[in-house]
Amino acid sequence: MKKPIVALIYDFDKTLSPRDMEEYSFMPGIGVEPADFWGMCAAFAREHQMDGILTYMYLMQKMARGRMELNREAMEKLGAAVEFFPGVETWFDRINAIGREMGVEVEHYIISSGLEEIIRGSAIGDKFKAVFAASFCYDESEHPVWASTAVNYTSKTQYLFRINKGIFDVTNDRDLNAFTPEYKRRVPFSNMIYVGDGLTDVPCMKMTKQKGGYSIAVHAPGQTELADDMLLQGRADFSVEADYSAGSEIEEIVAMLMRRIRASHELSLRHAEQVQRAHARRGNHVPLDIPMRGGMEDEDSVE
């Protein structure tokens, strides 16, 4: 029997890492305090009515001139300075091993408004099936000239559908928007676990929950208010501290969810077998790929 895929989907900044990734090496490199940089971004965005993600990418490129080299290689090297919450660097291998014991295949994904280049260059950059994040377009000298991708809080949701359908090429909108029956999709929403920390994660959290998956709100030690709000408002299923160490609460919750996903998968297969058997007893022709229980064929193209 083919193992069900469990997709663990993470935000990055303040979910896996305690601070915004640009604060670890980029801002010190140009000699600007984080509060000043983000303040300039907010003012520039208001003045020009500009998307916040495009704003910070533009100002990164502009403010680096004459202060630090900012080519593709240098951008990736910025990732080496990124720090993580306890246990993050060993989390992925541990969860993969737990998944194997439970009979599921675990895949990890990032959906972030941060920079793909920095994420790829970090200590955990090679742990993900796909990274959907902001990124630059580079000229022939490998210097950034403009944004190739900008991921804000609402556009994050399209990447849930890309994971759902197994369409990782961000230029492939045709297949993304084409109708695909639920039972033919690579990763059902019910097999997704979304992990995030803040209001920018709410659209993904709500969509994951509404479609049968699970959402976990994490918080820094002692900073429980926002995560608890998301739990009490029904936006998240769980509110836990961002401690990914062995035996932590989030590890226990993810293990229980994987166990539940495996059981649901087996019950769905049993349901499908019984439907086929019932058809066979009546002499009906039945397709080999019949929808499993709960596989409602909703039209949910990304607009």
Segment 20-44 mean pLDDT: 97
> Is residue 158 within 8 Å of 152, Cβ to Cβ?
no
Is residue 302 predicted with pLDDT exceeding 70?
Answer: no
Confidence (pLDDT) at 287: 61
Confidence (pLDDT) at 230: 95
| Average pLDDT score, the chain | 92
How many residues are present in the chain?
303
Segment 82-109 mean pLDDT: 97
Residue 34 lies in a domain: yes
Confidence (pLDDT) at 289: 59
Residue 177 lies in a domain: yes
Segment 237-250 mean pLDDT: 98
Residue 58's domain is classified under what CATH number?
3.40.50.1000
> Is residue 176 within 8 Å of 162, Cβ to Cβ?
yes
Residue 273 lies in a domain: no
Total number of domains in the chain: 1
Residue 126 lies in a domain: yes
Residue 291 lies in a domain: no
Is residue 296 predicted with pLDDT exceeding 50?
Answer: no
Is residue 290 predicted with pLDDT exceeding 80?
Answer: no
Nearest Cα to Cα of residue 123 among 165, 88, 98 = 88
Q: What pLDDT digit, counting tens, does each position of 169-217 carry?
A: 999 999 999 988 877 899 999 999 999 998 899 999 999 999 999 999 9
Q: Which two tokens stand for residue 160?
A: 């849930």
Residue in the structure block whose two tokens are 């166990």: 259
Task: Tell me what percent of the residues of the chain surpass a pLDDT of 90.
Answer: 80
Confidence (pLDDT) at 295: 40
Which residues, 6 or more positions from 58, have their beta carbon under 8 angstroms from its beta carbon? Answer: 44, 50, 147
> Is residue 189 within 8 Å of 164, Cβ to Cβ?
yes
Identify residue 237 by its one-letter amino acid code: D
Segment 223-233 mean pLDDT: 96
Which has more confidence, 287 or 182? 182
Confidence (pLDDT) at 142: 92
Confidence (pLDDT) at 299: 43
Is residue 251 predicted with pLDDT exceeding 50?
Answer: yes
Q: What are phi and psi of 161, to 5 degrees?
A: -70, -35
Q: Which long-range contacts (CB under 8 A, 24 or more apart) does 129-132 make?
A: 129/7, 130/162, 130/163, 130/168, 132/156, 132/159, 132/162, 132/170
Residue 293 lies in a domain: no
b/e for 114-126, b at 16 or more Cβ within 10 A?
bbbbbbbbbebbe
How far apart are alpha carbons 143 and 261 in whole angstroms?
Answer: 44
Give the domain extent around 253: 5-266
Residue 278 lies in a domain: no
Residue 78 lies in a domain: yes
